[in-house]
Copies of this chain bind each other. A is one copy, B any other.
Amino acid sequence: MGPRPRALLFDVFGTVVDWHGSVAREVRRIGRDHGVRVDGDAFADAWRAGYRPAMDQVRRGAIPWASLDELHRANLVPLLARFGLRLSAREVTELNGIWHRLAPWPDSARGLGLLKRRFVIGSLSNGNMALLIDLAKFGRLPWDCVLSAELFRHYKPDREVYLGAAKMLAMPPRDVMLVAAHKDDLAAARRCGFQTAFVKRPFEFGRKAPRDVEPDPRSTFNAGDFIALAGQLGA
């Protein structure tokens, strides 16, 4: 175990907020309003499944920089047809905005409040700045700073994101800890010299599809939620 971190940066989708549950609920509601029975869980997963390939196109330079809001929207349009939803342009924009109104996990706001007393806490997400700012306001997430892949025009797991964030904090990477529910994100951060903490989020893909929550032996900390992490870190 290295020296204590000075800053904790958090992955957001799945780690801080419940994208699956929030998107599924919204889509079911819209379906009801339109008299269409929509499998909200399947819709949420299908929408999210387009996330990595779209970002990878940006990462490879196959398409120019596009914000996550733009990538979400591009992935949404074909999904609507597939699920039998006919929405107006305004309704599509509103549905795309659900990613700005995702419910935090029950421990998130309180756990961040505890951690904020001892550390600089910030987001480090592939979500664009406007999305992350809205999420924080919606979920009362008490960030000291909102950091986004958008600032670096690179998506995680590109190293520019982690190293760029440490530079913005004016800290060496070893003073920064990434907190995430995803082991690939943590591994990329460690390759940049970050400390890492794995947080279990078994229901990221819904209650019907519990996820791998085996501890991450490579991470300095493994915690059941942010409140437990605060305890482990003495915050």
Mark A residues whose CB is within 8 Å of B: 67, 69, 120, 122, 128-130, 133, 136-137, 142, 144-146, 150-151, 168-171
Name the residue in A122, A136, A137, A150 with the highest tally of chain B Cβ atoms < 10 Å from its Cβ.
A137
**17 intermolecular pairs with C-beta atoms under 8 Å apart:** A120-B133, A120-B137, A129-B145, A129-B169, A129-B170, A130-B169, A130-B170, A130-B171, A133-B144, A133-B169, A137-B144, A142-B142, A144-B146, A145-B145, A145-B146, A150-B168, A151-B151
- Do A144 and B136 have beta carbons less than 8 Å apart? yes
Chain A interface, >50% SS class: mixed
Copies per assembly: 2
- Do B133 and A145 have beta carbons less than 8 Å apart? yes
Which residues of chain B are near A150, meaning CB under 8 Å?
168
Q: A136-B144, A145-B146, A146-B145 are in contact. Are A170 and B120 (CB under 8 A)?
A: no
Known: A120-B137, A145-B146; 19 extra A-B contacts, CB below 8 A, are A67-B170, A69-B170, A120-B133, A122-B133, A129-B145, A129-B168, A129-B169, A130-B168, A130-B169, A130-B170, A130-B171, A133-B144, A133-B145, A133-B169, A136-B144, A144-B146, A145-B145, A146-B146, A150-B168
Which residues of chain B are near A67, meaning CB under 8 Å?
170
User: Closest approach, in angstroms, between the C-beta of A191 and any C-beta of chain B?
Assistant: 23
CA distance A130 to B169 in the complex (A): 5
8 shortest A-B CB distances, which residue pairs?
A130-B170, A129-B168, A145-B146, A133-B145, A133-B144, A130-B169, A120-B133, A137-B144
CA distance A150 to B69 in the complex (A): 24
